Amino acid sequence: MEREHWGTRIGVILAVAGSAVGLGNFLRFPGNAAQNGGGAFMLPYFISLLVLGIPLCWAEWTMGRYGGTKGFNSAPGIYSVIWRNRAAKYFGGVALLIPLIIYMYYVLIEAWCLGYAINYLTGDLLVETGSAVNDFVQEAQQKAGGELAPEVAKAKGFDAFFENFVGQNADGALLEAENRKWLWVLVGTFLLNFVLIYRGVTKGIESFCRVAMPVLLLLAIVVLVRVLTLGAPIEDKPERSVVEGLGFMWNPKPDKLRDPQTWLAASGQIFFSLSVGFGIIINYASYLREKDDVVLSGLTSSSMNEFFEVCLGGLITIPAAFVFLGAAIGDYTGTAFALGFRALPNVFAGMWGGQFFGFLWFFMLFTAAVTSSVSMLQPVIAFFEEGFGLKRHASAAILGLLSALGCGFVLYHSKGLLALDTFDFWVGNVLIFILAMVQAIIYGWIFGIQRGHEEAHKGAHIRIPWFVQLMLKYVVPVYLLAIFVLFCFEKLPSSDKLAFEFAAETSDELPRETEAVPVPPELREGFAANEAKLDDEATIEFNAEAAVWTIDDKERLPAYVLMREERTHVLQIRRGDEVVLTKDVINSQPSIEALEAGGLSPALRAALEARGLKLPETVEVEAADDDAWQLVGESDKVLLRIERVALDAPAEVLAVKRYAMGYFETFLRRPVVMSSILFIAAVLGFLMLLIHIAGRRWQAEGRFDRPD
C-alpha cells in the first residue's frame, strides 16, 4: 500500500492549526484568564507556552516524522521504532485512547454548537413571543410569582434552555420524543466527521482545513469587529462599555500570581489549546516526507493557534459578555459551557443584529470544533490500517462503531453532564499530562536530544536553539511532574470552603438527630438570606462525635457542613480617617477570605450598602498590607480602606462550609462516574489487546528490522 502524505506545506500547517484551534480558544481561554488574574494570567501563560508548549510540539513533530519515515503512522508503531522495547507500543495505547475518548464527548459539544446555530436561524434563541427561549423566560417568571427582574428572568431562561437542550436534568432526556429532533443534528455532525476522515489525510482533512481555517478566520473577524464597535449600548449603564469589558479581561491582578491555581490553569490551557499530549501531532507529522520541514511548520501552527486564542478569543468573548451582563459575568467564567452557551446567547439577545451574529458565532464554534474533532479520529484510523492491514472502509466502520458506542454513553448519561465531565477530567486533563510526560521522557532520554536536534533540522527552514533541547530533557519533565502533582493535590481530595456564618446560638436550634431529617424552615431562611442554594429535598443530619451537621442535597450527596468555630478578628472599614463601619463578627471571616482572594463578599457589600455606602459594580480590591485592603474605583480613586482588627477575646460562630467532592469521593459515591471510568478502562483494555496483536504482527513481518 502506498503511504499517504500531506499534499502541501501550508496544508499540513493548517491541518495541525485546525486541530489545535477549537472551543478552548474562544471559551476556555478567556474564562481562565478572567478568573485567574486577568492580564497577570498572561505571564504564566506565555511561560508555559515557551517552556512546555512549543518545545513539546517540536518534539512531537520530530518523533512523528521520524516514525513516518520508518513506515509507521500510529503512536504504538512510532514509539516502538524510537524505543526498541516491547513495552513501548503499550504507551502508544494512551496516545490512541486520548483522542478517541475526547472525540466521544467533543462531537456532542460540536453538535450543540450546530444546534445553537440552527436555533438562531429559526429565531428560537431570541427573547420574542413564541420563541423557545422566551417560553423558558416566562416559565422562570411564573415560578417566581412574577417577582423576578427582567434581566434575572432572561438569564434563568437561557440557563433553562441550555439545560433542556443538553438533557442536563435527567439521564436519557435527549432520547425523549420532544428532544429527538436534535439527535439528527448529532447524527449529521458525526457523519460529517466520518466522511472527512474516510476521504483520507489529503483529500479529507487537508482539503477541508484549507477551506475551513480561512472561513473560521473570516467569521471570527466579523464577530470581533461587531464586539469592538458595541460601545456602551445600554443607555442607563454607561460604565458597561467595551473598553471596560477589555479591562475586565486584561487588567492585571498580580496577587493571583502567588496562587498555584493560576499556574495550573495556565499550563492546562496551553496543553489543551495546542493539542500537546493528545497523540494527534505525532500522527499528523508522520505523514510528512523525510525532508519536509518540522521546525517552522510546528512553530507556525502553534502561533496560528495563539493568534486565534489571544488576538481573537481574548478580545471577543469577555468584552461582549461584560457589556451586556456587567460584573455578573464573573458567575460564568468558571466553565467554558457557562460562558459559551449560557452567557453569550443572553448577550446576543440584547445586541443589534443578535440573530445574525449569534448564528455566526455558533457556526464559527462549530467550524472550529470540526477541524479539531476530525483530527481525533485519524490516530486510531491509522492504527487500524497499519496494525491489521485494514482498508479505510473497514477502519472507519470499526472506529465509527466504537466512537458511536462512547458517544451514546455520554449522550444517555446527560444528567448533570456527569459522564462528559468524567471523560473530560480523567482523559482530557489527567491523561494528557501523563502522555506529555511520557513523550518528553521518550524524546529527551530515549530518542536523545542530540539525535532529536539533528532529526528536527532535516529540511528545517529555521533553527531550534540548543537550549530548547536541554529544556526538553531536564526542565520539561520536572515542570510537568510538578504541575501534575499540584493538579492531583487540588482536584482529587474533597474539600470544604467557608461560605457564610450564623450566630453561634443558631446551633442550639439545629436538629440533633443522627439520621437525615428535612432542613428546618428557619435554617432555610438563613441560607436564602445569604444567597445560598438549597434543594427542596435537602436533609440535615448530626454527627455527635465530630459535633458537625451535614446537609445533603436531593441526591443524598454532601452539600454543606456546619460546625462551631472560634473567630479572633473582625473588619473595620474606614473612609479617610473616619471609621464608617466595624463589621459584626458574623461573616467577617468569609469577607476576609474573599478580600484575600481579591474579591468582595456579598455579605460585606450588603453591610456597606446598608450603611449607605453604595459601591460601583466593578470595584477593585487591592492589598495595602497583610492586614489591610483598599477598595479602588474609577481613575484609581481609593474609596474605602478595610482593616483586619484583632478581637479582645475569641468569639464563636456557626460556620457554614460549602462541600466540594473531590474526584476520589465522586468516583465512590456516583455510579455514573464509576461506570464512566470503567468504560474508559474497557476501551483502554480493548486498545491494549489490539496493540498486543498488532505488535506480534509487526514483529513477524520484520517491521522493526530496518536500520535506524
Does position 114 interact with other proteins (CB under 8 A)? The reply is no
Nearer to other proteins, 462 or 678 (CB): 462
| Angle of CA points 628, 633, 639, to nearest 5° | 50
Stretch that binds other proteins, among 75-83, 134-142, 297-305, 680-688 (CB under 8 A): 297-305
Nearer to other proteins, 301 or 372 (CB): 301
The grid coordinates listed for 388 are: 491489521
Least CB distance from residue 319 to other proteins, whole Å? Answer: 10
Options 175, 296, 430, 606; binder of other proteins; rule CB under 8 A: 296
Does position 250 interact with other proteins (CB under 8 A)? The reply is yes
Nearer to other proteins, 83 or 307 (CB): 307
Residue found by looking up cell 532520554 in the block: 445
Phi and psi at 145, nearest 5°, equal: 65, 30
Does position 390 interact with other proteins (CB under 8 A)? The reply is yes
Residue found by looking up cell 516502538 in the block: 80
Options 60, 110, 206, 424; binder of other proteins; rule CB under 8 A: 206
Residue from 566, 564, 549 nearest 505 by CA:
564
Stretch that binds other proteins, among 113-121, 155-163, 232-240, 288-296 (CB under 8 A): 288-296
Pairing relationship of beta strands 620-625 and 548-552 according to DSSP bridges: unpaired
Nearer to other proteins, 392 or 473 (CB): 392
Give the per-residue contact string, 3-42, with other proteins (x = CB under 8 A; - = no): xxx-xxxxx-x------------------------xxx-x
Does position 306 interact with other proteins (CB under 8 A)? The reply is yes
Amino acid at 592: I
Of residues 32-91, those binding other proteins (CB under 8 A): 38-40, 42, 46
Residue by residue, DSSP assigns 101-160 as HHHHHHHHHHHHHHHHHHHHHHTTTS-STT-HHHHHHHHHHHHTTT-S-HHHHHHHHHHH
Nearer to other proteins, 206 or 455 (CB): 206
Does position 213 interact with other proteins (CB under 8 A)? The reply is no
Please tell me the count of residues contacting other proteins according to CB under 8 A.
55
Residue by residue, DSSP assigns 305-327 as HHIIIIIIIHHHHHHHHHHHHGG
Least CB distance from residue 513 to other proteins, whole Å? Answer: 53
Options 59, 75, 81, 310; binder of other proteins; rule CB under 8 A: 310
Q: Are the beta carbons of 26 and 365 closer than 8 angstroms?
A: yes
Options 84, 86, 143, 289; binder of other proteins; rule CB under 8 A: 289
Give the per-residue contact string, 622-651, with other proteins (x = CB under 8 A; - = no): --------------x---------------
Could you say which DSSP state residue 546 is in? T
Q: Are the beta carbons of 642 and 571 closer than 8 angstroms?
A: yes
HSE value, Cβ hemisphere, 13 Å, CA-based, for 359:
11
Does position 200 interact with other proteins (CB under 8 A)? The reply is yes
Options 64, 68, 313, 314; binder of other proteins; rule CB under 8 A: 314
In angstroms, the CA 383 to CA 690 distance is: 9
Amino acid at 23: L
Nearer to other proteins, 416 or 616 (CB): 616
Stretch that binds other proteins, among 105-113, 301-309, 407-415, 496-504 (CB under 8 A): 301-309
Nearer to other proteins, 123 or 633 (CB): 633
Stretch that binds other proteins, among 95-103, 205-213, 362-370, 598-606 (CB under 8 A): 205-213
Stretch that binds other proteins, among 23-31, 186-194, 206-214, 336-344 (CB under 8 A): 206-214
Nearer to other proteins, 115 or 245 (CB): 245
Nearer to other proteins, 153 or 464 (CB): 464
Does position 317 interact with other proteins (CB under 8 A)? The reply is no
Q: Which residues are CB-contacts of 77 (< 8 A; sequence separation ≥ 6)?
A: 67, 71, 89, 92, 383, 386, 387, 694, 698, 703
Residue from 51, 560, 32 nearest 259 by CA:
32
Which whole-number Å values give the CA distances from 569 to 179, 530, 628, in the listed order? 54, 21, 12
Does position 345 interact with other proteins (CB under 8 A)? The reply is no
Does position 462 interact with other proteins (CB under 8 A)? The reply is yes
Q: If 0-12 CB within 10 Å is exposed, 13-18 middle and 19+ buried, where does residue 291 land?
A: exposed
The grid coordinates listed for 294 are: 518540522
Amino acid at 456: A
Does position 203 interact with other proteins (CB under 8 A)? The reply is yes
Beta bridge partners of 562: 549, 656
Q: Are the beta carbons of 476 and 309 closer than 8 angstroms?
A: no
Beta bridge partners of 646: 569
The grid coordinates listed for 156 are: 434563568
Residue from 431, 421, 428, 423 nearest 94 by CA:
431
SS3 string of 389-418? Answer: CCCHHHHHHHHHHHHHHHHHHHHHCCHHHH
The grid coordinates listed for 520 are: 428546618
Options 299, 370, 656, 677; binder of other proteins; rule CB under 8 A: 299
Q: If 0-12 CB within 10 Å is exposed, 13-18 middle and 19+ buried, where does residue 49 land?
A: buried
Least CB distance from residue 371 to other proteins, whole Å? Answer: 16
Stretch that binds other proteins, among 227-235, 300-308, 422-430, 621-629 (CB under 8 A): 300-308
Residues lying near other proteins in the complex (CB under 8 A): 1-5, 7-11, 13, 38-40, 42, 46, 198-200, 202-203, 206-207, 210, 243-244, 246-247, 249-252, 289, 291, 296-297, 299-300, 303-304, 306-307, 310-311, 314-315, 385, 390-394, 461-462, 636
